Amino acid sequence: MTGLGTVLGHRVVVCAGSGGVGKTTTAAAIGLHAARQGKKAVVLTIDPALRLADALGLAGLEPGREVLVRQEGEGSLVALMLDAKGAWDALVERFTPNPEVRDRILANRFYRHLSESFAGSQEYMAIEQLCSLRQSGRFDLIVVDTPPSQHALDFLEAPDRLARFLDRKIVRWFVRPYVAAGWSAFRVANRTARFVLERLEEATGVSVLLEISEFFTGMAGLFEGFQERVERAYELFRARETAFVLVTSAEEPVLCQAEYLHGRMRELSIPLRAVVFNRIHREFDTGPLRGAGEQTLRELVGPESAARLLRNFDDYERLARGEGVRMDAFRRQLGRRVAVAIVPNFETDVHDLGGLERMAGFLFPS
C-alpha cells in the first residue's frame, strides 16, 4: 500500500523508531494533514529537546501546556509537550487519601527520584497522558512522538518495566509496621531484606527506609490497581483504533534497528500499520547526462569541474541505488496491509508549516 491514508482512520497514531530518523517531523506532518482534513488533532511529544516546536516553527513549548498551531474550519492542530513530573503529581493527587498524605508524598525524596529520573518513568507517564487524552474525547486523532531514545523499545516496555519494579511482593514489604522501626528491624524481619534494599538503593539512590515506606503506604491505592493499568496500556497498543508507524532511514544500521523493533512488536502482538522511509535519495535516469550531455557539461564548466561533478553524481547514484536495494529487502518482510511512504531527502531540515505540508505531500500522495 502506498501512502499513509489508512492511518488517518485510526484514533491513535504512535510514531516509533530510532533516534534521529525524523519521528517528530513525521508526527507533526501527520497531525497537520489530519487538521487540514477537518480533524481535531493533537501531537504529543515526549522530547524535551523541543524538536516539535522547531518543526512547527514555534518559539517553544511549555511542558503540559497545549498550544493551538492551526485552526482550519472544523479541523485544528494542537501541540503538547509531556509534563512527566506534573503527570506523576496528578497521580499522587488522585490516589492519596487526604491532603496531608499528598503533601508528604510530594515532598518525599524517594517519590521525587521515581518521578523525575527512574528509567522508564517518563515513557510510562507518556502512556498515562495518552490514555488521559483519549478518555477526554476532545480529539479525533492523537499522534504520539515517542522518546528520542537510542533504544526505541523503551516506550513499548516502560509499563512492564515499571510494573516489575513496583511488584506487589515488594510493595507489601514496605507497608508492614516493622518497616517504620528502621533498617535493623526490617533486616531481622526477613532474611532476603538485604537483597531488596540493595536493589532499591541501587535503582533510586535513596537509602532512607522511612521515606520509601511512607511512599508505598501513601500510594497504596495506585499500586493495588497498577497491574491493571499496565494491561490497559498494552490493550491500547494492540487495539484496532491504534496505528504504529515505524519511521526509519535507509541506512543499514538504522534498518537493522527498525527490523529488531518490528520483531519485538510482533512478540508483543502489537500490529505495525505503516512504515515511513525518510530522507531517501532518489536514483535518476542517467541517460541524458552521458554522451552528448557530458560534452555539453565540459563546455559549460570546463573539463576538471565536469569530471568532479560527474564523479559526485555517480557517488549519489550509488548511494540511491544502495538505499533502494535495502528498502526493497525490508519491504519484503512486511505484511501486505502495511502502508509504506517514501519521503525524499530535502535540501534543508523542516522548520515550519510549509516544510511540514511539503512532507505531508509525500506521506499522503493524492
- The pLDDT tens digits for 240-253 are 999 999 999 999 99
Give the residue-averaged pLDDT of 323-332.
95
Give the residue-averaged pLDDT of 182-203.
56
**pLDDT score, position 109:** 78
The DSSP line for 178-213 is GGGG-HHHHHHH-TTHHHHHHHHHHHH----HHHHH
Give the residue-averaged pLDDT of 100-109.
81
pLDDT level of residue 153 (50, 70, 90 thresholds):
low
Interatomic CA distance for residues 103 and 90, integer angstroms: 12
Q: Residue 302: is its pLDDT beyond 80? A: yes
Locate 228 and state its grid cell: 491493571
Give the residue-averaged pLDDT of 145-164.
68
For residue 78, which of 87, 89, 86, 67 has the smallest C-alpha distance? 67
**pLDDT score, position 255:** 93
Which of 2-6, 28-32, 175-179 is the most confident on average? 28-32
pLDDT tens digits, 257-290: 899 889 988 998 999 999 999 999 988 776 666 6
The answer to whether 275 and 7 are in contact (CB under 8 A) is: no
Q: Evaluate if pTM is beyond 0.85.
A: no
**pLDDT score, position 147:** 72
Q: Residue 95: is its pLDDT beyond 80? A: no
Question: Residue 289: what residue type?
Answer: L
**pLDDT score, position 156:** 73
pLDDT tens digits, 341-358: 999 999 888 989 999 999
- CA-CA distances (angstroms) from residue 89 to 6, 44, 110, 185, 204? 37, 19, 13, 31, 18
pLDDT level of residue 28 (50, 70, 90 thresholds):
very high
Average pLDDT of the residues of the chain: 82
Q: Residue 166: is its pLDDT beyond 80? A: no
- CA-CA distances (angstroms) from residue 306 to 76, 281, 296? 50, 22, 9
Give the residue-averaged pLDDT of 74-93.
87
Give the residue-averaged pLDDT of 40-56.
87
pLDDT tens digits, 129-151: 888 899 999 999 999 998 755 55
Let me know if 242 is exposed, middle or buried by CB neighbors in 10 A (0-12, 13-18, 19+).
Answer: buried
Give the residue-averaged pLDDT of 196-211.
59
Q: Is the dihedral of CA 144, 147, 151, 154 positive or negative?
A: negative
Lowest mean pLDDT among 5-14, 143-152, 236-245, 292-301: 143-152
Among residues of the chain, what percentage have pLDDT more than 90?
37
Q: Residue 1: is its pLDDT beyond 70? A: no
Residue 45 in 3-state DSSP? strand
Sheet with 339-344, strands from edge to edge, namely 67-72, 75-81, 40-45, 141-145, 12-16, 242-248, 272-280, 339-344
For residue 94, which of 210, 222, 194 has the smallest C-alpha distance? 222
Lowest mean pLDDT among 75-79, 163-167, 183-187: 183-187
**pLDDT score, position 327:** 96
For residue 86, which of 56, 43, 121 has the smallest C-alpha distance? 121
Give the residue-averaged pLDDT of 4-12.
93
Residue 202: partners with Cβ closer than 8 Å, 6 or more residues away = none
Which of 69-73, 97-101, 307-311, 341-345 is the most confident on average? 341-345
DSSP, res 63: B
Compare 173 and 29 and report the one with higher pLDDT: 29
Let me know if 228 is exposed, middle or buried by CB neighbors in 10 A (0-12, 13-18, 19+).
Answer: exposed
Q: Residue 167: is its pLDDT beyond 80? A: no
Q: Residue 335: is its pLDDT beyond 80? A: yes
pLDDT tens digits, 74-83: 899 999 998 8
**pLDDT score, position 271:** 93
